[in-house]
Amino acid sequence: MKATLAPSSLISLPRHKVSSLRSPSLFLQSQRPSSALMTTTAASRGSVAMTAAATSSVEALQEGIAEFYNETSGLWEEIWGDHMHHGFYDPDSSVQLSDSGHREAQIRMIEESLRFAGVTEEEKKIKRVVDVGCGIGGSSRYIASKFGAECIGITLSPVQAKRANDLATAQSLSHKTPLDRVSFQVADALEQPFEDGIFDLVWSMESGEHMPDKAKFVKELVRVAAPGGRIIIVTWCHRNLSQGEEALQPWEQNLLDRICKTFYLPAWCSTSDYVDLLQSLSLQDIKCADWSENVAPFWPAVIRTALTWKGLVSLLRSGMKSIKGALTMPLMIEGYKKGVIKFGIITCQKPL
């Protein structure tokens, strides 16, 4: 069920209210059965009608995601700041960067993504932005400041939504940037509480990998985009299958399964699968790229910070999900090195 918010009232709710609009367990019950692009293999078998068991596994997944980010976001922010995504580096850069160097690489990721999608600073058309899977709002605040746009972020984690709103308020109050038109709430990307066609920019930075139904995810992104609006999906993918290949190799699937378990990810898809989905919806200017080489220094850097004294103490304080997450990081490096994991960007424009 969609809330009927008029565009002008898009982010007019006070932050303390929007952050507690719905608890994850409440809105998870409203998940409706749907077809799913679960994996390339599943897609090739045609649409999969979700059974009651599948629906409840979506609920369990989403509760897991909410709990994971409730527990780990504070630790991430303490060590890495408010951007919970890979940095963008020059390929083959062997320089050991400082903390601020990595932060710059994360900002560069946002800038490169906007550039790739053809959204430039001159583009005054970006008035309203939705940040789908917003974390603690790093992208939202950055993009809102850059374009002077209003921005609303959605996440499954109530802890993240509250922190994101607090950070926006603090930055607004300190007059660094006028962020009073930025807000965050708990909501599901697969059933967004927005009217059709209201966002000039639909932004999804590293949340697509959490979506159990890629077709529904993409449909929702397209639905809320304004005519002429841009959609940017930056996400973890598996490699494209070669012609005649039906599925990943068993060892590749096994590697991904181990990562999925810790990071609360359903089955992955490839960038080609996203392109196919966008083409099937008649989107324009569809582009994709493999940025795996540009993100290579990221996970080694995260592991290095986890192994510092501060990192280890924070990790132990934070809890089991964080510890398991840290132990899984080397698998991400292995996945990239072996070419199973790809860091993909997929962008397009909704026809006018």
Q: Which residues bind ligand SAH (CB under 6 A)?
A: 62, 65, 69, 83-85, 133-135, 138-139, 154-157, 160, 188-190, 205-207, 210-211
* 26: nearest Cα among 136, 207, 188, 264: 188
Residue 214 Cβ, how far from ligand SAH at the closest point, in Å?
A: 12
Residue 134 Cβ, how far from ligand SAH at the closest point, in Å?
A: 6
Which CB sits closer to ligand SAH, 24 or 240?
24
Which CB sits closer to ligand SAH, 150 or 206?
206
Which CB sits closer to ligand SAH, 240 or 292?
292
Q: What SS3 class is residue 56?
A: helix
The H or E element spanning position 285 is: strand 284-290
Residue 210 Cβ, how far from ligand SAH at the closest point, in Å?
A: 4
Which CB sits closer to ligand SAH, 40 or 140?
140
CA angle 71, 150, 76 (to 5 degrees): 20
Which CB sits closer to ligand SAH, 38 or 240?
38
What is the C-alpha separation between 110 and 99, in angstroms, rounded?
Answer: 17
Residue 99 Cβ, how far from ligand SAH at the closest point, in Å?
A: 17
Instruction: Please state the separation of Cα 57 from the chain's center in Å.
Output: 20
**DSSP annotation of 308:** S
**DSSP annotation of 49:** P
Residue 304 Cβ, how far from ligand SAH at the closest point, in Å?
A: 20
Nearby residues of 84 by Cβ (< 8 Å), 6 or more positions away? 73, 76, 135, 136, 138, 206
